[in-house]
Amino acid sequence: MKKLGSLLIVLAMLLSMASLAVAEEPITISIMHYMGNQVKLDAFDEILNKYMETHPNVTFESQMYSQNDYIAQLPIRIANGDTPDIMMGQPTQYSDIIEAGKVMDLTGHELITALNLNEGDLKNCSYNGNVYALPLDFKTYGVIYNKAIFEKYGLTPPTTQDEFDALCQTLVDNGVDPFIRNYSNVTYPDIEVRGILWPLLIENGHGDAFEKLMNGEAKFTDYPEFAKAFELWARRLAFSRVDDMGNDTTMGRQLMAQGAGAMMYEGTWAYAQIQEFNPDQEYGMFVLPRDDGKDNSWCVQLDQIFMVSNESKHPEAVMEFMAYLLSPEVAGYWAATTLNPSVVPGVETEMPDVIMTAIKGKESGNIAHEGSLTTWLKGEYLTAWRQLTQTFAADRTLTVDAILEELQSGMEASVCRFVSGVLKAASDLPILAF
């Protein structure tokens, strides 16, 4: 018995030493993302650095892309056998890599259980009923407005499209640009259409519209909601600024912070950067109004969503980091720094009025949640949509019927041929062919 006891002690020591060796083994975790602005990048880098202080054996390879480059580069990396350990993105937009077995199935994982996500958020993290992603925060879209300018001219947030038109005209009559826009970035024309389109599709029972469009089971003209969304957007575009197409994301936010215009259609993700440019400026936020007498819904999506590679050499280490990222302390730091509202239970941070308006919008239940859609556009379909909505914004001679026809051509062709390089002047922009 003594001999057996001694052997057990030695075995325990050896196991302990082995565990220590494993713990000290150098580990590199690769992360591929498209977070977008410097505030987020700095906050994320700080989180990674703090983690490495307590995990000296861990090193991160964190690579940031523009969203368009990310969409293009991720499948290339995976095809080359270089799947990142952690990838940003919503599973339905990357269904191909999930079906190829490249993404870890997180269904029933304790981190998912702990998040206690509502139905819409859970669907945003899922594909075909299984969970493949972990979210950190959410976002809403709306019109951010300069309170000082509104007060100066006695303006209040509009509740109808007619009120919105009159408000814009008052600003124009007083020599104030109604809008600052970031239309050199293809994402922004896209999201401005969504502000009306998604609520209409969801409330009319067409949450599967995009899936049917991508599968060739339907056409854009089958859904009057598309024409309505472009018509209302065209009314706002009638008050556009001359440099809309020249502004990138950062330039647009700088102009907004400088008071160069009264409003911009943005999301909660942008507010921290706007405030950083001018912390003394006060802003409000309102949802886009409609022209049918109904209250519009807030568009809600998860924002930073992370998928984990099923081919990671260090899955335990990766999931340990994800648990750290989604802890109330770290998620709270992220929310307070980036001003992105958290989905992590237990996070309580003071938020400015703009963000609180968005949070209350989500909590009200009057939302068009992305999770209510069967899927959103992905791959070449998303590229086509964004390029063409950008073209519609630039070329005010295009009709709604013409843009729907071009969208349909692009959808049917799948892979689109676009004018490369810098956008031409609106007058020189042709209707793009596929």
> What is the topology classification, in CATH, of domain 139-301+372-376?
D-Maltodextrin-Binding Protein; domain 2 (3.40.190)
Report the alpha-carbon distance of residue 263 to residue 314 in Å, rounded: 47
Q: What stretch(es) of the chain map to CATH 3.40.190.10? A: 26-135+305-339, 139-301+372-376
The pTM assigned to this predicted structure is 0.83
Looking at domain 26-135+305-339, its CATH superfamily turns out to be Periplasmic binding protein-like II (3.40.190.10)
> In tens digits, what is the pLDDT along the chain, a chain of 434 residues?
333 344 333 333 333 433 444 457 899 999 999 987 789 999 999 999 999 999 999 999 999 998 778 888 998 999 999 999 999 999 988 888 999 999 999 999 999 999 999 999 999 999 999 999 999 999 999 999 999 999 999 999 999 999 999 999 999 999 999 999 999 999 999 999 999 999 999 999 999 999 999 999 999 999 999 999 999 999 999 998 888 999 999 999 999 999 999 999 999 999 999 999 999 999 999 999 999 999 999 999 999 999 999 999 999 999 999 999 999 999 999 999 999 999 999 998 889 999 999 999 999 999 999 999 999 998 889 889 999 999 999 998 999 999 999 999 988 885 443 333 333 333 333 332 22
